[in-house]
Structure formats: C-alpha cells, structure tokens
Amino acid sequence: MQILRVDEFSDFLEKTLNLKADCYLASLFKQFGRFFNIAKRMIELLIELDKHFEQENRSRTLINNAIALLNQFFIEHVSFVQWSYCEQFIVQGNERITQIRANIHPIFHQFDQTKIKKSLCEVLLNLQEKNTQLLQQMTLLSNEVNLHQIILKQKEEQYKKFNDNIEYIKQYKQTEDSEFKKYFALFIKLQPLQQSKILYELYKTILLCLINCSNLLCLLEVPIENSKMVKQIGKKNLKGNTHEVQLLMKYSQILVNKEQIWNTLNKQHYEDLAETIKLLEKQIFYKQPNDPFVIQCNLGELRSILSKKENLMYQLSNQFKKPEVLQEWNTMQPLGLITLQQLQEIAGQFFGHLSTFVRVTQVYQNTKQEISKFFDQNFGQIVQLECNEFDYLII
C-alpha cells in the first residue's frame, strides 16, 4: 500500500501518469528534443557572434534579445507534458520564432561577406541554417502534437480531475486564520466524548449541527458575497420598493456575519430570506463567483436545511439540560474541555468558524475515495491519501 500525504500527491500523480502515457508519446518527445537541440545550438552561435563586437551597439542588443527569447523556451519547459502545455508551446513558440527571426535578420547586414574572417563566416552561415531549421522543426512538432492530441488531453483530464481538489485542500490546510485555529483546537478536545456512553449522543448532535451549518453557509455563499456590497452601495442605490430595500438591509447585515446566520436564521425566516436572495440577484453589483467549489443557492434545499437546523438546535438544547450530561461533562473537564455553559454560549462562533473545515473535509474524503478507486482500476495499485486534519470528521 502506498500512503501519500496531501503535499506529496501531485508529484506522485505526475510521475504515475507519465509512466503510463509517455511510452505512447516517444515520437513527440523526440521532436521536442530536436527543437531544443536547435535552440541550444542557436544560443551557442549567438554567444560566439557576440564576441566579434567590441562595444555596445544595435547588433549586440539584437543578439541579446534573440538569446533571451530562445532561453524562454527552456525556462517554460515542464516535466509533465499535457495538452494545454503543448498547445501553448506551439502558439507562443510561433510568435517567439517570428520575434527571433526579426532580431537575427538585421545582424547579417552588418557584415561585408567579402571581408569577414572565415571563423565568423562559419558562425553566420550556421546561425542562418539553424534559424531556418527552428521554424521547420516547430512545424514538425506542431504536427506531432496534433497526432497525439487524444492521449495528451486524456492525461491532462486525469491530472486535473484530482489536482484541483488537492490544491483546494492544501490551500485550506495552510490557513493562518487564528479564529479557525482556536475553534479547531476545541473540536479536537471534543473527540474523547465519543468514548463516553452518556456524552456520545451529545457529540453526535454537535457534529450534525456542524455539518448542517456548513451546508447552510455553503448554500448561502453567493448571497453572502453579494450582501457585502449592500452596505457599501447604500439604500439610495438599491433596486426595489421601500419594503424590498428594508429586507435587503436587514438580511444583508445577518448574512455577512457567520455567527448571526447560525444564531438567527430559522425556518420562520425562510420566506423573507428567499425574497432577499431574489432581490440580491436583481442588483447591479450582483456577481456569480468563478469558483468550481461554490454552488448555486437552491431555495428548496435552503428551506430543508433551515428546518433541519431548528430540529437539531432543539435536540442540542435538550441534551445540554440533562443532569447526567452535565455531571459526565464535569468529570471530563480535566481533559481540557471548557464548561458546558461556555460551549452553549459560543455555539454560533464554533459552528460558523468550522463550517469551511467541514466542506473541505467533504472534498478531501470524496477525493480520497476517488483516488483509491482510480489507482486500483487503472494501475492495480493501492493508494491511500492521508491528511490528519481532515480524517477526524467522518461525513
């Protein structure tokens, strides 16, 4: 079994996909190799040519420009060759070759062919030859890329399928948000509750509340982002009648505060909240974020989540009141737990600040399952993704 940390996975995936696909891409790599050999030889010839100019002049500037353009091919080269790289290489490469030729051509006119040394003449002839070969090789390379388009696109799709999720997980894993760290530390301290028969139901309800809050905030993400603009734009610039503007002002203030969303919104607010969301969509500032992890607000789902939230809060409140729960909780306080009353008081902050953690955990666990299935079916390998932060919560 291959166990991989999140930080290790992208490199492992690249190497594995390279091993699988590259045997079918040998002729393409051969054409790439020829192209880079020509480019390398041109740089050597240009450096040699530069030595024949004793002081700075236009020719030396043109030589340096051509060298810089050729070096760019090497700087941008990658070990993981996929369709988008090849496509960009051909398009930008042709433009770059046009610029290289435009820089090299005037240099030949600086010399009187009858008076120059034999060594310099050979440099110029070789450079002229390689200049022509570079353009010809780009054409051959372009043809070869098109021949392997299916394999290159498949390789890219397989990489992108997992890498977007991995980058999303890594980005959140590295967060420096002090509030999140505080409430995550509390979440870790709650883990021993699972071992207590009396407190297990309380722990399970807390997890369900956490998941419900995450689902609610995820569903409201677009309205939340657009609500931030309501205060900035001011009442006078909002579209709608007096009642509609009042709704926008009231609910936008709630939506921009995670604690208020959890503590305030219940199923009796659904009608006004749904109307506010529709009103937000009519405003001139309304934007849909360009993010694959952001979902549209489904009003039917919103009603269901608000109803479920109310039931969960009722359950949680009842469990907090049970004498045996309070007694058992107090016996576990030496483990670093806060008091039950303190937990009740910070419930909104706790669920709000950990909501994104729940969503990332869901992405992580789904990705973990897909990776295991993908490597088993395609390579006969047992591969397991590991990230301690997101293995606490089983969703």
Convert the chain into a string of H (helix), E (strand) and C (coil): CEEEEHHHHHHHHHHHHHHHHHHHCHHHHHHHHHHHHHHHHHHHHHHHHHCCCCCCCHHHHHHHHHHHHHHHHHHCCCCCCCHHHHHHHHHHHHHHHHHHHHHHHHHHCCCCCCCCCHHHHHHHHHHHHHHHHHHHHHHHHHHHHHHCHHHHHHHHHHHHHHHHHHHHHHHHHCCCCHHHHHHHHHHHHCHHHHHCCCCHHHHHHHHHHHHHHHHHHHHCHHHHHHHHHHHHHCHHHCCCCHHHHHHHHHHHHHHCCHHHHHHHCCHHHHHHHHHHHHHHHCCCCCCCCCCCCCCCCCHHHHHHHHHHHHHHHHHHHHHHHCHHHHHHHHHCHHHCCCCHHHHHHCHHHHHHHCHHHHHHHHHHHHHHHHHHHHHHHHHCCCEEEECHHHCCCCC
- Residue 205 confidence (pLDDT): 92
- Residue 395 confidence (pLDDT): 59
pTM of the model: 0.72
Distance CA 51, CA 68 (A): 17
Distance CA 276, CA 266 (A): 15
- Residue 30 confidence (pLDDT): 94
User: Please, what are the averages of pLDDT over each run of 10 residues along the chain (395 residues)?
Assistant: 90 90 90 96 91 75 92 91 94 94 82 64 86 94 94 92 89 79 85 88 91 89 86 82 88 84 86 89 77 75 91 90 90 77 85 86 91 90 87 69
Q: In the chain, what are the domain boundaries?
A: 26-147, 178-353
Pick the CATH number of 26-147 from 3.30.450, 3.40.50, 1.10.20, 1.20.120: 1.20.120
- Which burial class, exposed, middle or buried, applies to 152 when counting CB atoms under 10 A from its CB (0-12, 13-18, 19+)? buried
Amino acid at 169: I
Query: Residue 265 is encoded by which pair of tokens?
Result: 């919104």
Task: Report CA-CA distances (Å) from 367 to 13, 150, 350, 373.
Answer: 13, 25, 26, 10
